[in-house]
Structure formats: C-alpha cells, structure tokens
Structure 1
C-alpha cells in the first residue's frame, strides 16, 4: 500500500508540482492545504501517513502548524527553500520527524527520512 501524503504550502504552484512529483514516485497525495487551519481539518478528515509542512505559510509559522497536527499515526516533515542550518535547532525541538529542502523533495527522500520502504 502506498504512503498517503498531505501537502501544506501557501503556493498553489508548488502544491501542483509537488503533487505530480510525489505521485510519480508512488506516493498517494490525498490532499493539500494552504493554511494551518486547513491542515488541521484535512489531517482529521484524511488521516494521512505523512504531512509535509512548509515553514513559512503566508504569515503562519510552520513549526506551530506541526505542533497542531503531529500525532501517533501522522508523521510530519518540515519543508522549506531555506537551508536546514537556518532552523536546525528548531527542527530538532519540533515534533517533526525531520526536514527536507524543497529542492531535495522526492518520494524516496520521504521514505528514507521515515525509514519506510513502501
């Protein structure tokens, strides 16, 4: 069974490109959200395996969104165009399972970060 993914980003262009990229890699993108409130609602309704959350959501802090959605069955991965070095301590202190730079985003990178092979 393929991994179910929710994308959270305020850029419609990025959401479209990331969905296509991840689906080509065998992931099932079950939904998208552009705000923290949408993300919380979609996580509740869709129960994805993993949620990719942009650190900068048009005035919202991705770390705060990650805190609101992280749970026992849903893993959170933070994403950004900024380098990990800029946020390393905050990422480590967050409930996120890790960080991926948007340029390194792929289904394989997500699986590797989560230690999954499906």
Structure 2
C-alpha cells in the first residue's frame, strides 16, 4: 500500500522540491498547504495517511496544526519537519501528538516511513 500524505509548509519553493522528491521515492503527495486553515481543509478533504508539518509556518505554529488535526478527530499520523535541529524543539515534539520529526535536509520517503514505523 502506498502512503498518501499532505505537506504543510509556508515556503512554496520547498513544497515543490519536497513534493517532487517524495513522489520520486514512492510516496503519494495528495496535496500541499501553506497555512493552518489550508492544512485543516486539505486533510479533511483528502484524508491522507500522514501529514508532514513544518514547525514554523510564518506567524503560525506547526504544533497548533498538529493539535487541531487531532482535536478535529482526523485519524492521521503527523510528522513534524523543520530546517532547525530536532534538539531545538525536542520538548515540544515530545509533548505534541506527533509520530516524530524529520529534518528538512533529510526528508525522504524512507525517513517518513521510518518515523511512522514502517
């Protein structure tokens, strides 16, 4: 079974590069979103298996997106991504309703699957 995901990031260039790389590696990128509101709409509409959420979304927090997805009852696994080091956000990642973290520099289908346990 192929993994379907939505990528949430406010950088359009990153979204394009990440989408191409993940699709080349065998993930299905069902959609992308650049804000908290767009992420919630996309996940509700597309029902992906996983959501890759940037920790910093301009003036918004990726952790708020993760909490909102869970609070809204979406049965989706969440992976936080960032250009910052995991150590910078370790406490927040540990407390968040997420499967784990992948640095943007290491983002790949294999890394996402590893975090998701498969």
1:46-83 Cα distance to aligned partner (Å, 9 max, x none): 01000000011010011111101135620000000000
Runs of 4+ in 1 over 6 A off after TM superposition: none
TM-score by length of 2: 0.95
* Aligned mates of 2:117, 2:60 — CA distance in 1: 29
* Aligned mates of 2:102, 2:110 — CA distance in 1: 12
- DSSP-derived class of the 1:2 partner: coil
> Can you give the 5+ residue segments of structure 2 that lack an aligned partner in the other structure?
none
- Match of 1:83? 85
- Match of 2:44? 44
1:23 aligns to 2:47 (yes or no): no
Aligned-pair RMSD on alpha carbons?
A: 0.9
State the Cα distance separating 1:30 from its structure 2 match: 0.2
Paired residue total: 116
TM-score by length of 1: 0.95
State the Cα distance separating 1:115 from its structure 2 match: 1.1
Correspondence for 1:100 among 85, 102, 108:
102
